[in-house]
Amino acid sequence: MPIYQIGPKRLVVGAHYGLKEWIIQRVTAIVMVVFTIVLLIDYCITGSATYEGWAGLFSNQFMKLLTFLALFSLFYHAWIGVRDIWMDYIKPVSIRLTLQVLTVLYLVACAAYAVQILWKV
């Protein structure tokens, strides 16, 4: 990290600032779109909803990994989106930082729950 990136005079605006989040927001969105299409195709093929069919779909290793990727994308996507909401509306730094920390903890807990759900099947 260059020296001008550290301390109170660090660069907080300009070219490439926030680009990483911007790209991640879009990549994770595309992963979720792909997952949604796969679910839709499965629904169109199998038609009826039975437990065997539903559980069978997620017991497939490929589907399990795709679902995990989609859910992981969801949590990362939600982090960036909710972070933007806090940055837009919550001005006091102490409250904003608290909300951001709670958001991260909440999403990590959700991710653990998601893993538990997927690897039970």
Partner 1 sequence: MVDAQQDVKKDRPVYRNIGLAQLIKYRLPWAGKVSILHRISGAALFLLLPFILYLFDQSLASEMSYQKFQAFTSNIFVKIICLGLIWSFLHHFCAGIRYLLLDLEIGVDKSEANRSAKFVLFLGLALTAIVGLKMFGLY
Does 90 bind partner 1 (CB under 8 A)? Our answer is: no
Does 81 bind partner 1 (CB under 8 A)? Our answer is: yes
117: number of CA atoms within 13 Å, CB side?
A: 11
The contact mask relative to partner 1 for 7-26 (x = CB under 8 A, - = no) is: -------------------x
The contact mask relative to partner 1 for 49-68 (x = CB under 8 A, - = no) is: --x--xx--x----------
**Which 3 state secondary structure label does DSSP give 21?**
helix
In terms of residues, how long is the chain?
A: 121
Q: By rule CB under 8 A, what count of residues binds partner 1?
A: 21
**Which 3 state secondary structure label does DSSP give 49?**
coil
